[in-house]
Amino acid sequence: MTPFAFHVARDCAEALSLGAASGARFIGGGTNLVDLLRQNVESASKLVDVSRLAANIHEVGNGALLVDASVKNSALAAHPMVRGRYPMLSRALLAGASAQIRNMATVGGNIMQRTRCAYFYDVDGARCNKRQPGSGCDAIGGFNRYHAILGVSNDCVATHPSDMCVALAALAALVHLVGPEGERTVPLAEFHVLPGASPQIETVLRPGEMITAIELPPATPAMANSEYRKVRDRSSYAFALVSVAAGLEVVGGKIAEARIALGGVAAKPWRATRAEAALRGLPATRANFLSAAEEELTKAQPLEGNAFKIGLVQRTTAAVLESLAGERA
């Protein structure tokens, strides 16, 4: 770890002004950043602690839920409104990491997590275009069992490791940002970007900008009838091989609304818009669920180690939707 200064921001304005310095980084719970600094993957001249900013969850006028960026993952997961209206989000949060880490990690920090690709982490011994643009990608041709099958490029096949973000994508959550140029909102599904030729760029965040809140839209029946299923190498405390966040509303035997997002398949939480569109108006059958998931994955580009994800995503998606259809039927 290179030496750094540490400042606690008392309010948003102070955070922005402290964060404007070059080499400054915002720190929430630090569960990812402290590790990255210690592994020498990242360095900072100054850490601005934003974890003590307001951490509220409150309903706004239209029934939307506004969650401050400093809310802990555990607090969000346990919140009655989240458990009742957006169960997929609660379940996704609870699938992430461990209780200790969820008590530390903030919502903003969760969104800003970086990939767990082992080559990204191995600063001394491996090449990584994300860490050092232009150096090459050792994951291609190496261990890529955990890596992406959608939206990949020749330069990077890393995945985004968050569970929470997968549910947020399916819920069409908005990310509230503030920066030197003022406030703006970005849909969560558009917040992370695909690697292309510049995998070092992971989000649309601008210099000095920070996340202040996420906004969950007013709950629809499909949001309330939702689940998150995470498939991993052990039963707990492991990153996803793949995950599915899904919500379903069936009216008169026909699908009125399907919300689907996939984790572990891309550099961003993957909103399965093609599958959602394909399902609209169809009977809620296993065959339809499977073919919609297949439709979503027609452009998948598997590597040697992760081709199994294609079938796995299809079957898992269909199984989650089937159980949601069953519970509402």
The answer to whether the beta carbons of residues 150 and 265 sit under 8 Å apart is yes
- Sheet strands side by side (includes 174-179): 57-59, 65-68, 210-216, 174-179, 182-187
Nearest approach in angstroms of CB 185 to another protein is 27
Among 30, 133, 187, 196, binds another protein (CB under 8 A): 30
Asked whether position 74 contacts another protein by CB under 8 A, the answer is yes
Asked whether position 38 contacts another protein by CB under 8 A, the answer is yes
Nearest approach in angstroms of CB 1 to another protein is 5
Instruction: Write phi, then psi, for 206 (nearest 5 degrees).
Output: -95, 160
Asked whether position 291 contacts another protein by CB under 8 A, the answer is no
Class of residue 159 by CB neighbours under 10 A (exposed 0-12, middle 13-18, buried 19+): buried
249 sits in the region (left: phi over 0; alpha: psi -120 to 50; else beta) called: beta
List CB contacts of 63: < 8 A, sequence separation 6 or more: 218, 219
Asked whether position 243 contacts another protein by CB under 8 A, the answer is no
Compare residues 107 and 177 and give the one whose CB is closer to another protein: 107
Q: Count the residues in the chain.
A: 329
The answer to whether the beta carbons of residues 29 and 72 sit under 8 Å apart is yes
Print the binding letters for residues 136-175 with another protein: x by CB under 8 A, - otherwise.
--x--xxx-x------------------------------
Compare residues 193 and 290 and give the one whose CB is closer to another protein: 290
Instruction: Write phi, then psi, for 266 (nearest 5 degrees).
Output: -155, 175
Among 21, 55, 64, 122, binds another protein (CB under 8 A): 122
Asked whether position 103 contacts another protein by CB under 8 A, the answer is yes
Q: Which residues bind another protein (CB under 8 A)?
A: 1-6, 8, 27, 29-31, 34-35, 37-40, 47, 49, 51, 74, 77-78, 80, 83-84, 87, 90-91, 94-95, 97-101, 103-104, 116, 118-119, 121-126, 138, 141-143, 145, 231, 233-239, 241, 307-308, 311-312, 315-316, 319
